[in-house]
Amino acid sequence: MKISIIGAGNVGAMLAERILAKNLADVVLVDIVADLAKAKAYDLMDAAPIMGYKNRIRGTEDYKETEGSDIIVITAGLPRRPVMSRDDLIEKNKKIVGHILENTAGFSANAIFVIVTNPLDLLTWFAHKRTKCGRKKIIGMAGNLDTARFKTLLSEELSVPYDLIETFVLGSHGDTMVPLVSRTTVDGKPLTGVLDEKHIKEIVERTKKRGGEIVSLLKSGSAYFSPSAACYEILEAIINDMRKVIPSSCVLEGEYGISDCALGVPAQIGAGGILRILEWELPKDELDSLKNSAKAVKDMLKKCN
């Protein structure tokens, strides 16, 4: 299997390392900056004899080398800086993603696209509009990252290992995301039975701002260890046909009463991409929040045409 990663920055390079470390696939790393991808690929290859990587990695500026990719991951674009929201990146990152879609189009007719560049839901929708591969092959990474963040914060608050926590975060990868408290259990018990409302609200709010918290602490750039891990989970599910339910940004055509945008929903992912979108019955307040999140994404889509 062949995965092309476009953007050899923090997320792209870390993702390449994760793929090689798990012997998941061959990697082509592409960046617009001359020699950057090549340098990182050489550096990663030099680690192979020590780490035991079995696959190959190549770094290049030439899209021809992406030919025949099974998956194309787009991580190219500007990351956030402090006081920026993800939506502030739209104009520049839309141009970058558009350029990449044009350049990869002729080389990998059957590729599945995984979008990582922010603002994630908008660019997932944009990629759907710009490609002809159909919505099953366009996956936006973020719901599993937001879920992992919610889990981490709950695990800290409750001093419970995170593998005893079941939860999902849906909605947009932004301030209107929807941590599903109704579906959150801790060691099999409903979250509402082990934590009071005030604390739950605080953790939900902190989850929404977790990416921004990291951006403020880093001062330049944004998170990349957890985004690359979340992206890896999607790639592994596709390549190993795991049919795993992963909250991901998907193009919606009426699911949850929402259409004409991409939004985080539970998606079963396997070979071929999105196998199906699960439509869970949600309590009214969570369904309303999900619709509100869709509205925020659509308002933003309107603003940027």
173 is catalytic: yes
Q: Which amino acid belongs to residue 73?
A: V
From 3, 5, 11, 122, residue interacting with ligand APR (rule: CB under 6 A): 11
Q: Contact region for ligand APR (CB under 6 A) — 94-102, 202-210, 245-253, 294-302? A: 94-102
Cα distances (Å, whole numbers) of residue 295 to 1, 44, 141, 262: 38, 42, 20, 11
Binding mask 30-59 for ligand APR (x = CB under 6 A): xxxx--x-----------------------
Closest approach, Cβ 284 to ligand APR, in A, equals: 32
Q: Does 80 bind ligand APR (CB under 6 A)?
A: yes
Residue 274: closest CA among 111, 138, 130: 138
Stretch near ligand APR under the rule CB under 6 A, chosen from 200-208, 218-226, 242-250, 261-269? 218-226
Closer to ligand APR by Cβ: residue 79 or 171:
79
- Report the nearest approach of ligand APR to the CB of residue 242 (Å): 23
What is the rounded distance in angstroms from the CA atom of residue 154 to the CA atom of residue 207? 10
Residue partners of 134: CB distance under 8 A and separation at least 6: none
Binder of ligand APR out of 104, 117, 124, 248 (CB under 6 A)? 117
Which is nearer to ligand APR, 45 or 218 (by Cβ)? 218
Nearest approach, Cβ of residue 266 and ligand APR (Å):
21
Q: Are 171 and 290 in contact (CB under 8 A)?
A: yes
Q: N- to C-terminal Cα distance for the chain?
A: 36
Catalytic pick among 99, 128, 173, 199 = 173
Based on the shown chain and the rule CB under 6 A, indicate whether residue 98 belongs to the binding site for ligand APR: no
Residues 138, 237, 100, 45: what is their CA dihedral angle, to the nearest 10 degrees?
A: 180
Does 10 participate in binding ligand APR (rule CB under 6 A)? yes
Residue from 116, 122, 165, 246 binding ligand APR (CB under 6 A): 116
Total length of the chain: 305
Q: Does 221 bind ligand APR (CB under 6 A)?
A: yes
Closest-CB residue for ligand APR?
A: 9
Where do runs of H (alpha helix) occur along the chain? 10-21, 36-51, 90-105, 120-130, 143-158, 191-194, 197-218, 225-239, 284-303
# residues contacting ligand APR (CB under 6 A): 29
The answer to whether residues 62 and 115 touch, using CB atoms and an 8 Å cutoff, is no
The reply on whether position 105 binds ligand APR by CB under 6 A is no
Footprint of ligand APR on 227-286 (CB under 6 A): 227
Cβ distance to ligand APR smaller for residue 44 or 158 = 44
Nearest partner of 53 among 13, 14, 24, 12, judged by Cα: 24
Rounded to whole angstroms, how far apart are CA atoms 262 and 73?
Answer: 17
**CA-closest candidate to residue 232, choices 54, 31, 9, 27:** 27
- Report, in Å, the least distance between residue 10 CB and ligand APR: 4
**Residues labelled as active-site residues:** 173
Q: Could you list the residues that contact ligand APR (CB under 6 A)?
A: 6-12, 30-33, 36, 75-77, 79-80, 89, 93, 96, 99-100, 116-118, 221-222, 224, 227
